[in-house]
Structure 1
Amino acid sequence: MRAVQVTEFGGPEVLRNVELPDPEPGEGQVLIEVDHIGVNYADTHQAENTYLAPSKLPLVPGGEVIGRTPDGQRVLTLLGGSGGYAERAVGNSRMLIPVPDGIDDLTALSFVVQGATAWLLLRKSAHLEEGESVVVHAAAGGVGTIAVQLAKAWGAGRVIATASSEEKRSLALELGADVAIDSRAEDMTAALREANGGNRVDIVLDMTGGRVTDQSIAALAPFGRLAFYGMASREEPKAVELRNVLGHSTTIAGMWLAHAFSLPGNVYGKAMTELFELALAGRIRAIAGGEYGLSQAREAHEALRSRATVGKLMLDPRR
């Protein structure tokens, strides 16, 4: 089968197009004929071996696919972090998610990681209450586009989006943000407070790191919450100190999707069910960020790392 493999860690240049044997499903596993592959920013960290879970070589990147089982069932699944960039993949039978009629591949793949992440950030990490202000950094990205829509659907009082271009800010406004500001603002604290009518903000969803995180924390109101789920800048924030947290009654929550599967009550399943219901009701929608051939995985990673993309990127294993 055609696949993309990493044999040395690094940037997009280490993604190699190769031919590999078909994977063999073991006990409790099923072979999936892949229709589309989801691309996540975490995949770029995986190729570098800078992700939270260490990578092992040789590696077929990619943790999410949609396709069909041998009996013809259309399923969406997470693969445990690797094996997705290929024509066929092996999934855990307990992790297969039947895809409802009316949900296309783009929407399904937008929800399995990014949509579930946005749901968990707002529901579990930030505990959004009706009327609160919500800042969504990288609002035109995979998580951001869903988070803006969910915050509005769940009664946020004011949604403030940040993005790096006029086109991205226009998209965030189209999706329901009340105001959109330049993510490159020199003083993000002042920019966020101005966007919130001069008031401090209640919730910040952040995957940037560095200066943006530090200045976002400074913009939080008492009992404000910053939910941190990535570090795209690859720069460590400096303001996360206990005296700062105590001095402003601040909550800083980290969120890694992998931990959702250990929660009682099938929280991840609830997230996916609600996301599908909202999509079928026309209350949220997925944003296409570009479809690449499997042979163009390197270009997809380059686009992600350039921060030029919007919405969800997919790979087509037939190309």
Structure 2
Amino acid sequence: MKRIEVLGTGGPDTMVLAEAPEPELRPGEVLIRVAAAGVNRPDVQQRKGLYPPPPEASPILGLDVAGVVVRTAVGVLWPPVGMAVCALANGGGYAELCAVPAVQCMPVPKGFGFVEAASLPEVFFTAWNNVIMLGRLAEGESLLVQGGTSGVGLAAIQIAKVLRGSVVLATAGSAEKCRVCLEYGADAAIDYRAEDFSVRVRELTQGRGVDVVLDGQAGPYTDKELGLLAPDGRVVLIASHLGAMAEVNVRDIVRRRLTLTGSTLRPRPPVYKGRIARALVEDVWPRLAEGSIRTRIHATVPLADVAAAHAMLEAGEQIGKVVLIVDPALVTAGPG
């Protein structure tokens, strides 16, 4: 099969198209003929040597795929061979064939093609895990999403708005990105390049603050975000792009009963990810089918041109997801 190989750590030009043997199925897995694969920031970090895969994971880049099941391990009853699925992979998505735990597979939402379906798993798994499970966002609570036009950001905005009736504030790096945040359900969007987001959040909440913050920056943002929480509020970190260290006011955390937490989903076992998959299919997939929750595709790129896709993410150009076309014929044929 064809796959993307990374020739040492470095820039996008370290990735080349190469031949590799087909993946061997482990117990509980299915083999997917990949039509399209999502491109995510963890892929960029792994390419740079900053986010090594777990020991049992495929070293091939790629965390979400859409395609057709072509083989199942002994004892796997669902999804069956021939079914169109999208899935959160533990790695291996930048390839013609990808082995995935069966419990991490989901049906392609009604009305979706493979490109749209490939844009869903990583961002909606991440948003659900951090906003709903770790952030414990309750009905009517408020949410601040840092980086609202990332794939995770747009997923989080919509989950909070549609499923929890939340007041959602979002930050973004341009007027155009702020407009997209509003289009996808944010009640207010703050251009962090033009104004201090912390001052604006206090104004928008009349000084109360928000119940949950979802952030991938960390570093100096961390204490600011804790200061923006209402009593019993939660800051959930999904990355640390601005720095691994932060100085925080511990007395304020204790006095106002705040929670500072974070997560990486990739090392979690399939049983944990399977819980999220079931929740998404039950609560989010019907909204995707009816159009009240949407995905946004920034660009599609042929697998051989993967360097261009990574360059988009590194430049911060994308609004929504960048998707690799792995099998053009299967993409054109559609899920059937």
TM-score by length of 2: 0.84
- 1:8-66 Cα offsets, whole Å, 9 max, x none, are 12232321222334434455544322110111111111112222645799942112211
- 1:212-246 Cα offsets, whole Å, 9 max, x none, are 3332222112211111112234x124134643421
Which of the residues 137, 157, 179 maps onto 1:170? Answer: 179
Matches within 5 A, 1:97-136: 97-136=106-145
Distance change >3 Å, CA 11–CA 56, structure 1 → 2:
farther
Any conservation in 2 of the 1:12–1:302 contact (CA below 8 Å)?
yes
Any conservation in 2 of the 1:8–1:58 contact (CA below 8 Å)?
no
Q: How many residues align?
A: 317
Which of the residues 251, 256, 260 maps onto 1:243? Answer: 251
Distance change >3 Å, CA 170–CA 264, structure 1 → 2:
closer
Partner of 2:320: 311
Any conservation in 2 of the 1:76–1:109 contact (CA below 8 Å)?
yes
Any conservation in 1 of the 2:209–2:229 contact (CA below 8 Å)?
yes
Distance change >3 Å, CA 42–CA 240, structure 1 → 2:
farther
Partner of 2:19: 19
Partner of 2:331: none
Distance change >3 Å, CA 93–CA 166, structure 1 → 2:
same
Partner of 1:72: 82
- 1:120-154 Cα offsets, whole Å, 9 max, x none, are 22221121223322101111110111111111113
Partner of 1:204: 213
Distance change >3 Å, CA 85–CA 264, structure 1 → 2:
closer
Partner of 1:189: 198
Counterpart CA distance in 1 for 2:291 and 2:282 is 14
Partner of 2:33: 33
Gaps of 5+ in 2: 71-80, 329-336
Counterpart CA distance in 1 for 2:310 and 2:276 is 30
1:85 aligns with 2:94: yes
Which of the residues 291, 299, 302 maps onto 2:308? Answer: 299
1:262 to partner: Cα distance:
4.3
Give the residue type in structure 2 aligned to 1:5: E
Partner of 2:73: none
1:198 to partner: Cα distance:
3.6
Any conservation in 1 of the 2:235–2:259 contact (CA below 8 Å)?
yes
Secondary structure of the structure 1 residue equivalent to 2:43: helix
Counterpart CA distance in 1 for 2:235 and 2:82 is 43
1:165 to partner: Cα distance:
1.0
- 1:272-313 Cα offsets, whole Å, 9 max, x none, are 332111211322000112111101111111111222211111
Give the residue type in structure 2 aligned to 1:238: A
Distance change >3 Å, CA 12–CA 55, structure 1 → 2:
farther
Any conservation in 1 of the 2:143–2:169 contact (CA below 8 Å)?
yes
Distance change >3 Å, CA 15–CA 121, structure 1 → 2:
same
Any conservation in 1 of the 2:109–2:117 contact (CA below 8 Å)?
no
1:100 to partner: Cα distance:
4.2
Give the residue type in structure 2 aligned to 1:197: Q
Matches within 5 A, 1:214-293: 214-233=223-242, 235-240=243-248, 242-258=250-266, 259=268, 261-263=270-272, 266-293=275-302
Give the residue type in structure 1 aligned to 2:120: F
Distance change >3 Å, CA 42–CA 241, structure 1 → 2:
farther
Secondary structure of the structure 1 residue equivalent to 2:299: strand
Any conservation in 2 of the 1:43–1:62 contact (CA below 8 Å)?
yes
Distance change >3 Å, CA 150–CA 29, structure 1 → 2:
closer
Any conservation in 1 of the 2:64–2:119 contact (CA below 8 Å)?
no
Gaps of 5+ in 1: none
Any conservation in 1 of the 2:190–2:197 contact (CA below 8 Å)?
no
